[in-house]
Amino acid sequence: MKNLFLLFLFCLSLSAKSFIVSPLPLPRQEVLDIDSSECDEKCLEVLYTEGKLFSFVAKFNPLIKNPDLRSKLTEVLTNLDLFMKENFFEKIQDVKKIKIALMIPREVIGRYSATGINTILAYLTSRNASFLFEVFDSKNEEAQNLHQTYEEIRQKKFDCIVTLLTIDGIKNLIESTTIAIPTYIPTVNKNQLNLPKIPQKLFFGGIDYQKQIEILHKLALDDEVVEYDDASNIGNWLKTLSEQKFNIVFRDEISNQKAARFAQEIEAQEEHLKNRAVLLNIPVIKTGLILPQIGFLEEKPIKFLSTQINYNPSLLMLLKPKDRQNFFIINAIGKTDPYLIEYGLLLGSDLQYDWVSYSIGIGIEMFFLNRGEKISKFFSENMKDSQVEYVNKILKTYRNSFIEVKQ
């Protein structure tokens, strides 16, 4: 019995030792450069490509701002569990902190308030920038509220403003407020305003739906067109533009309810759809509901046409390939930095398919460039006469992807 008791005490003492915290710090791996030769950006690219990762880390100059190389450094440090000295990145902090304000009328734009926040944070994070970012909610687009919010931002001495406004909101802002800070509006194209004069420090990033409609008109040639619209702001704008260009023989406004029961509508519209082009000024969910019903017709439309409004990966899931044959979509979203795309997706922002997110990214980059910072551009678009210039491409769908149609 005594032996069993002694064995119990011995086991207890062993288990007790597992709760003792060592006073010694955990070991860390640090890479030292023992070669005095210099290594520029091309040299680092070669080291990374050849898998000489320890040399890549050892030779990395903290003054290098190349976002691709800095992302690769972060990746290597994480994967190899390496440690850099605490003052390694201090040398790049000589750049003045950028102060960016996001002004949103939350009651008006709804979910796009999150889009604005996420995209701005994604861009700033991917740049490893020193920044101050704050969100200001004007609640709505009434002139007084916009003016008060704008003045609050100005008094806090922000460098630049991104604001998500509609056409009415922009007009109210211009009428009530002196635009004293560089202000970027990603949601509206300047051509939509029809104003005699635009303030000098006001910039626009909305895509040009008028140009997209003109491209679709060329694709339609002399075809008679059946047009489907909806009652949204963009739907009404597209309807106005379409009336000026197409030979429309039948038009229908597609509500959510009508889209859901389109099988009951198709018989009455069958004669209109035979051998005609269909212009889809409706978003992707409604398109996904009505096109399968049209696909059951014996005599189908000869082609389907759409602006940016249907450039969405959901289209590929909602429609079978047979239901999207001869479907032409105009897209203004270009290519951007893959790391920025990844940061965006992590934060809930889609810079590949959501044109508002893409436009916001262009605006933030414009602010950086206007500060005189020497950065590699993530976006290829330029600003002309206060408006972002996009390159429109004609796309078709192929299996589970969009492909460009060469003109």
Q: How many domains does the chain have?
A: 2
Residues 163/109, Cβ–Cβ less than 8 Å:
no
Q: Look at residues 331, 361, 381 and tell me which one is the last residue of a structural domain.
A: 331
Q: Which two tokens stand for residue 46?
A: 């070669």
Give the full edge-to-edge strand order of the sheet including 98-104. Answer: 131-137, 98-104, 160-163, 183-185, 202-204, 387-389, 382-384
Which pLDDT score is estimated for 130? 87
On the question of pLDDT at 27 being above 50, the answer is: no
3-state secondary structure of 207: coil
- Compute the average pLDDT of residues 218-241: 93
2-15: average pLDDT: 41
Any domain includes 12 = no
Check residue 216 and give its pLDDT: 97
Please tell me whether residues 176 and 314 are part of one structural domain: no
Are 344 and 200 in a shared domain?
Answer: yes
Average per-residue pLDDT for the chain: 86
pLDDT band of residue 11 (cuts 50, 70, 90) is: very low
Residues 241 and 190 in one domain: no
Residue 31 lies in a domain: no
**Residue 272: which domain range?**
209-331
Residue 281 has pLDDT above 70, yes or no: yes
How many Cβ atoms from other residues are within 10 Å of residue 195's Cβ? 13
Task: Identify the pLDDT of residue 81.
Answer: 59
CATH (domain of 247): 3.40.50.2300
CB atoms within 10 A of CB 34: 6
222 with 124, same domain: the answer is no
Query: Tens of pLDDT along 33-85?
Result: 456 678 888 999 998 899 888 888 888 887 776 767 776 776 677 666 565 55
pTM check: above 0.85: no
In a domain, 197, yes or no: yes
113-163: pLDDT as tens digits: 999 999 999 999 998 888 999 999 999 999 999 999 999 999 999 999 999
| pLDDT exceeds 80 at position 15 | no
What is the average pLDDT across 85-95? 49
For the record, the structure tokens of 98 come out as: 């950028």
